[in-house]
Amino acid sequence: MYERRKTRQISVGSVPVGGDAPVSIQSMTTTKTDNVDATLIQVHALATQGADIVRVAVPHEGDAKALPMIVREGGVPIIADIHFSVRLALMAIEAGVHGLRLNPGNMRNPKHIKEVADAARERGIPIRIGVNAGSLDKKLVAKYGRPTAEALVESALYEIGLLEQHGFRDIKVSVKHQNVPEMINAYRLLAAETDVPFHLGVTEAGTPKQGVTKSAIGIGTLLAEGIGDTIRVSLTADPVEEVKVGKQILHALGIRQDSFDLVACPSCGRAELDVFELANEVEERIEKMDLPPMQIAVMGCEVNGPGEARDADIGIAAGPGRGLLFAKGKQIGWVPHDKLVDALLEAAEQVAGEIRAAGDADPDGAVTVLKGAGRRNALLSLGLRPTDD
Ligand code: SF4
């Protein structure tokens, strides 16, 4: 649906970023990196949730010394986040990290930039230039009066130039701002100036209450314009939440379909049951199931309910005392309210089975589920009476 901005492709370990590579999701650990056990637990939790790449902070030598083990056991590409120190950057490269995040402009000695660029090139390690409104060069803040989008872009282009003058091109870049319009503007301006792939993010977006909305608007707007190659949602929360939100952003835009999509009505005075309770229970239980991507609809009455439920892979439309269950556009049967969730999930499992059997990542058209004996058996197993199709 979206024409991607043409960017050069780099590789963060096994994950390609830029070009025609899928938009990847990143997060960052909140542990002290030198606490290897705690860091690895968090890295694994992030990878399990769907993070493609995980970044760890490396402010001290002890953190750099922990990197070999984290890289070896992490199971996902690891990026070392380093500021100022050429020594730590070289230690991280030596440790085998899959990427560096640093700002070469923070390294005062031009010889150090060349040293890091040469070592990274030798190991095939990309570098992200992470320009951030909160740590923008004071000269640029003075020039522009505040960290404007233009100031971020000037900084990014300068930093890119510092690496490229040493022939180092495995670069990605971010121009993060806590102000969403400014962030969007910065990436748009920079997109016109370079083919370096972009790491998108709204910095310091805050707690999930506000941060989810800010991130969805900032990152989502740019992705919808084809701008962005990898994303990080920054939340003041367990980083696992960042990955969940990142996946939801990509899912909502139709960029990545690797989870379920719950369509649920907001409820109103016509609702025949407690839609909030029903939708939340369905969501909670489905999150624990290993389902291929599918759309599931939970609708509170017979006004819009049957239409939405019919359009989804699996859906229910509540009526008085019972609800109508649909699978792939077919009516399966009427189910009492107290059995709706079980019936829905049972049907979801069966659709999932057919999707897997079809071996097709795209469920549309691949599934002709719950017909004939299979449908009858499904209903009978729930103690329900089949209706006519
Ligand atoms: S589907 Fe029915 S209950 Fe839900 S919001 Fe629409 S009219 Fe109200």
- In a 3-state reduction of DSSP, which class is residue 54? strand
Say yes or no: CB of residue 6 within 6 Å of ligand 1. no
Q: Which of 252, 287, 307 is the last residue of a domain?
A: 252
Q: Are residues 247 and 364 part of one domain?
A: no
Q: Which residue's structure tokens are 């079809």?
A: 358
Q: Are residues 160 and 46 part of one domain?
A: yes
Joined together, the tokens standing for residue 249 give: 């952003």
> Other CB atoms closer than 10 Å to residue 54's CB: what's the count?
27
Q: Are residues 136 and 86 part of one domain?
A: yes
- How far apart are the CA of 281 and the centre of ligand 1, in A? 18
- How far apart are the CA of 106 and the centre of ligand 1, in A? 56
Q: Are residues 164 and 269 part of one domain?
A: no
Number of domains in the chain: 2
- How far apart are the CA of 253 and the centre of ligand 1, in A? 24
Q: Which of 207, 228, 252 is the last residue of a domain?
A: 252
Q: Are residues 326 and 267 part of one domain?
A: yes
Torsion of CA 230, 235, 239, 241, to 10 degrees: -90
- In a 3-state reduction of DSSP, which class is residue 326? strand
Per-residue pLDDT tens digits for 239-268: 999 999 999 999 999 888 777 889 999 999
Per-residue pLDDT tens digits for 28-48: 999 999 999 999 999 999 999
pLDDT of residue 372: 46
pLDDT of residue 380: 52
Q: Are residues 158 and 31 part of one domain?
A: yes
Residue 1 falls within a domain, yes or no?
no
Q: Which of 252, 272, 303 is the last residue of a domain?
A: 252
Helix axes of 110-123 and 86-95: crossing angle, nearest 10 degrees:
10
* Spatial separation of the C-alpha atoms in residues 106 and 270, rounded to whole Å: 61
Smallest CA separation from ligand 1 atom 2, residue: 301
> Other CB atoms closer than 10 Å to residue 123's CB: what's the count?
12
Per-residue pLDDT tens digits for 84-101: 899 999 999 999 999 999
**Is the separation of the CB atoms in 307 and 273 below 8 Å?**
no
Nearest-atom number in ligand 1 for the CA of 266 is 5
**Is the separation of the CB atoms in 327 and 345 below 8 Å?**
no
pLDDT of residue 376: 52
CA atoms within 13 A on the CB side of 207: 1
Residues of the chain with pLDDT under 50: 361-374, 378, 381-382, 385-389
Pocket test for ligand 1, best of 263, 274, 275 (most atoms within 8 A of CB): 275
The Cα-based distances of 348 to 5, 118, 355, 387 in angstroms read 37, 53, 10, 18
Which helix (H) or strand (E) element contains residue 132?
A: strand 127-132
Q: Are residues 221 and 109 part of one domain?
A: yes
Residue 365 DSSP symbol: T
Residue 225 DSSP symbol: T
**Is the separation of the CB atoms in 125 and 97 below 8 Å?**
yes
pLDDT of residue 106: 78
Say yes or no: CB of residue 184 within 6 Å of ligand 1. no
Q: Residue 125 is part of a domain; what is its CATH number?
A: 3.20.20.20
Say yes or no: CB of residue 316 within 6 Å of ligand 1. no
Say yes or no: CB of residue 142 within 6 Å of ligand 1. no
Which domain range does residue 297 map to?
261-381
Residue 193 DSSP symbol: T
